[in-house]
Structure 1
């Protein structure tokens, strides 16, 4: 391969070495058939020593998706790469992009379990990262939200965040790698597409620098998680019907995490978004009680912290806050 491609292989190898559990880790690549994932597939196959597997999720939401999945399958077959086409058991419903994303990851995780793969690998790149940061900035996100697309999130790894979209398209062209273009990527019906179009005429922010900032924020979020876990062992005291937070004078970022930890001890599946959590904290700090999800939250009358318990039947004298 030319020197430029050798440099790309080195970059992908270094990224994978940082993110994987070991040099022989088994990777399941999520390959949609677009230029990003097709470039990733070729680079990983040439730059990784461990087992490389591939899968394409066909949601069946548009004409041509089956052809794209079979294009990936043919490409993999010609190169001896194990590949599977995954399809949801039920039609996608609800918010289209969010529901499709949830189903896609569920299918990939289940397939990785069947294969014994260590990691699910996606092709998110620096331009995706910048779009995500800007979308979340527009919504007033905090540290967690602005850390955007994590390079590693549990089993999922994203080694392409140091690559630009344009160089991946150029790589496919130089290597004669086929790829498909999803028409939804140019549809103004989606917030991400509108943000992408706005950023196309705004070159003051380098996506690679934005990706570095997101990585730094992810590290800050991980540090807060670590600190919150240590403090929770001391400040969260189990009670017969709930949990008590005995210390409230933490810095706001740490206090927010401890409150979320308390809520999850009472209702493990609760997912609290920023504005709802802000309202809850404001009421607790003002000495008021409130209900969020199915958790009643109230200051202890004796000044010994905040108590979180399963909510009683509706009709109590407290305000209800929607978690999302």
Structure 2
């Protein structure tokens, strides 16, 4: 399972830059598809004594257990420790893929904590990034959403690294082919029920929609998002003042996007769940007109400055009096 030295060096440099140094113990999420098998082969070739793999068994297909065992056999051939993490995927309102994702990262986080791993790497690549960007463009996402898949992210206490975002899927498939490893074919990747499957088909039949430039755009937008968040933090420190149950916020002279971010932080300061984009836009417009509006249990009053406080409890309705009809 030898891999070209230059290819391994490229991977090692990328992960080193991503993590600010190679983690002492690195976990790998390996499903058995060509992407995650390439991640396994590259990481093991670079640091054979530092990596450990896990396969999450979602139990959504009859073959999933055998596929997890197959990954274990490949890991055994590399002398790489491997764990199978069975999860139960709830049928919630977020959709099957979203629920599976939540269960997957919960399991990986527990596994990483038990094993004392510094981080867990996943095999998301440039084609995944391009698909994500197109899907979010279709939904009208803002800068944060169009940033796509983050190269470094935290899910609770779990540090997630995506060292393959600059790699094309074709490159990863070729690494696995040359290593003589047979990847698992997951039919859910072709299931038309999922938006990502449709987007993948669109990319395949549209030659001018090249994944690499789209992925670079997502990376540029991620840098823009980081800059906007840095500025929002600075203005929050300068312009938000809390006195007991009331927070005053001065948005004067700020571009709408920064005012939006400060307003979202103000709502979060009172425990409000993150509002949908349209809700936040309507609230922002109302405050700009000097009006008062309530969202997620928080009362917001426009003017100079804005005043934000918990909304008073709603008055209970009087019981109906059958005698008076009132």
Q: Residue 171 of structure 1 aligns to a residue in which SS? A: helix
Q: Which residue number in structure 2 is paired with residue 292 of structure 1? A: 295
Q: Which residue number in structure 2 is paired with residue 320 of structure 1? A: none
How far off is 1:315 after superposition? 6.4
Q: Residue 184 of structure 1 aligns to a residue in which SS? A: helix
Q: Is contact 1:34–1:182 with CA below 8 Å preserved after alignment?
A: yes
Per-residue CA shift, 1:273-317, capped at 9, x if unaligned? 322221221121122222222322222xxx43122222333469x
Q: Which residue number in structure 1 is paired with residue 43 of structure 2? A: 44
Q: Residue 53 of structure 2 aligns to a residue in which SS? A: strand
Q: Which residue number in structure 1 is paired with residue 278 of structure 2? A: 275
Q: Which residue number in structure 1 is paired with residue 121 of structure 2? A: 121
Q: Which residue number in structure 1 is paired with residue 83 of structure 2? A: 84
Q: Residue 290 of structure 1 aligns to a residue in which SS? A: strand
Per-residue CA shift, 1:176-215, capped at 9, x if unaligned? 1131111110010011101111110111132122222111
Cα 1:24–1:132, aligned 2, differ >3 Å: closer, same or farther?
A: closer
How far off is 1:80 after superposition? 1.3
CA distance in 2, matches of 1:150, 1:81: 27
Q: Is contact 1:27–1:53 with CA below 8 Å preserved after alignment?
A: yes
Q: Which residue number in structure 1 is paired with residue 320 of structure 2? A: none
How far off is 1:27 after superposition? 1.1
Per-residue CA shift, 1:111-169, capped at 9, x if unaligned? 11112211111100111000000011111111111110111113111011111112211
Q: Which residue number in structure 2 is paired with residue 176 of structure 1? A: 180
| TM-score, normalised with respect to structure 2 | 0.90
Q: Is contact 2:27–2:117 with CA below 8 Å preserved after alignment?
A: yes
Q: Which residue number in structure 2 is paired with residue 157 of structure 1? A: 161
Q: Which residue number in structure 1 is paired with residue 91 of structure 2? A: 93
Per-residue CA shift, 1:19-44, capped at 9, x if unaligned? 11423432111111111001110011
Q: Which residue number in structure 2 is paired with residue 246 of structure 1? A: 250
Runs of 4 or more, structure 1, over 6 Å off, are none
Q: Residue 4 of structure 2 aligns to a residue in which SS? A: helix
Q: Is contact 2:291–2:301 with CA below 8 Å preserved after alignment?
A: yes
CA distance in 1, matches of 2:244, 2:65: 54
Cα 1:23–1:49, aligned 2, differ >3 Å: closer, same or farther?
A: farther
Pair 1:193-2:197 in alignment: yes
Cα 1:115–1:248, aligned 2, differ >3 Å: closer, same or farther?
A: farther
Q: Which residue number in structure 2 is paired with residue 233 of structure 1? A: 237
Cα 1:50–1:220, aligned 2, differ >3 Å: closer, same or farther?
A: farther
CA distance in 2, matches of 1:276, 1:55: 40
Q: Is contact 1:31–1:122 with CA below 8 Å preserved after alignment?
A: yes
Q: Residue 66 of structure 1 aligns to a residue in which SS? A: helix
| TM-score, normalised with respect to structure 1 | 0.90
How far off is 1:221 after superposition? 0.6
Cα 1:315–1:205, aligned 2, differ >3 Å: closer, same or farther?
A: farther
How far off is 1:62 after superposition? 1.3
